[in-house]
Structure 1
């Protein structure tokens, strides 16, 4: 993973939340909230919380006396998530590295992480930390994107932006968000981290945007793909966005657009 893949700062948190969350994250956040809340956990840790899509879905489902600790490596993302949540005395916001959690052993009934594990520089270490802070019988619930070819808009954008930089195409989307899709590898790394009961389910959904332009702007300007584009030539950010919008429109139409998205949802315990 390139260092720029971790750059969620500047205008990215706002664009990510207003464009990317409704585009691809909202539906999966609702599913994760339901899955975590089903066990009525008294203490929940969320890692790599991003702009708070899961937090907003899960908090209303938790017990009135629950403890909910929400963390992210990026302080700008955490600040944005907190600003969206409103007052909730059950929630503690804390900047934290999922690979070195500042919590005691056996502190939580559930750990959840939506679309964050792909960014872990050492996933086994991150999984081991989740297991360490779980109480006996606790569950680690997380999701990762399937391969980019199963995710229409991400694939369209990656191919289109490559035409702007043919000698050095930005590969953020394929490399990181969609680069950790091998279910056998996920299972193996969880076992190496000490988990023994592992369930992996693959869920396809439809992604919707008001227009091809909205979808293109979300990916090109509301994710670290922007960092890659600007590192090559910041003056070409708009051209890259235009090319992506044109590609999405050619494939999905000029009005409101819809495209397939697909992800793995994992529940691990033991």
Structure 2
């Protein structure tokens, strides 16, 4: 799964936002950075290039992602870690960053509270969430393809998890409950550029948790063909550019 995620999804969906987030991180001139849900290291590799040369500790709950990421961005210290129970002493980081990971946390207030614990006084928490599903053109087309492939009870991973934390007011309330003060909230729309819709569909179907649902419910190759056909009908075969909207938050300890 990490290889498919890195090859097909990172360049199109995640790298544009990583480039924006690292610019925001660099402006804070942090010395010690903790990254949560680092995945395959797309943001990690950018953080290592910040001119102030910060120390970067990258974490992920998934062992396979940690193994892949540590090879991709070996300049960081990599640790398997649960963001709700961080294995670090209090006050050890100037900046905690998380790109598109907080949506996966079962108890976000608990996780945000632990982020506050590991931040030094005056430290910052910088993170992003996806907007509603309808604001992400690639994933609207993908979900339509899944619903066509599974007319009864289609997989609902994308609407309910990646796009399931898409109300900024709820996010701000959770941060406040954890004792973090929001300094900045931005709605950010960037363009994703895919050379091939077929490859992008492969990335979504094999490089995300929807893979297990697809494999359990039917013929994965037939599902892929249906999804590719639907996505192509909506977006074209590629190259194609499509908008993706996220919310970016910066909070202070």
TM range (shorter): over 0.9
Aligned to 1:96: 81
Q: Secondary structure at 1:160's aligned position in 2?
A: helix
Aligned to 1:38: 27
Instruction: Pick the aligned partner of 2:97 from 104, 108, 112.
Output: 112
Aligned to 1:159: 144
Deviations 1:93-125 (A, max 9, x none): 111100000111111000000000000010001
Residues 30 and 57 of structure 1 are in contact (CA less than 8 Å); yes or no, is this contact kept in structure 2? yes
Gaps of 5+ in 1: 1-11
TM-score by length of 2: 0.97
CA distance in 1, matches of 2:167, 2:51: 32
Gaps of 5+ in 2: none
CA distance in 2, matches of 1:151, 1:173: 11
CA distance in 1, matches of 2:43, 2:107: 23
After superposition, the CA RMSD in angstroms is 1.2
Q: Secondary structure at 2:246's aligned position in 1?
A: strand
Report how many aligned residue pairs link the two structures.
Answer: 253
Residue 63 of structure 1: how far off its partner (Å): 2.7
Residue 197 of structure 1: how far off its partner (Å): 3.1
Residue 254 of structure 1: how far off its partner (Å): 2.7
**Range moving further from structure 2, 21-30 or 222-231:** 222-231
Aligned to 1:212: 197
Query: Does structure 1 residue 19 correspond to structure 2 residue 8?
Result: yes
CA distance in 2, matches of 1:238, 1:38: 46
Residues 68 and 92 of structure 1 are in contact (CA less than 8 Å); yes or no, is this contact kept in structure 2? yes
Query: Does structure 1 residue 268 correspond to structure 2 residue 251?
Result: yes
Residues 131 and 166 of structure 2 are in contact (CA less than 8 Å); yes or no, is this contact kept in structure 1? yes
Aligned to 1:240: 223
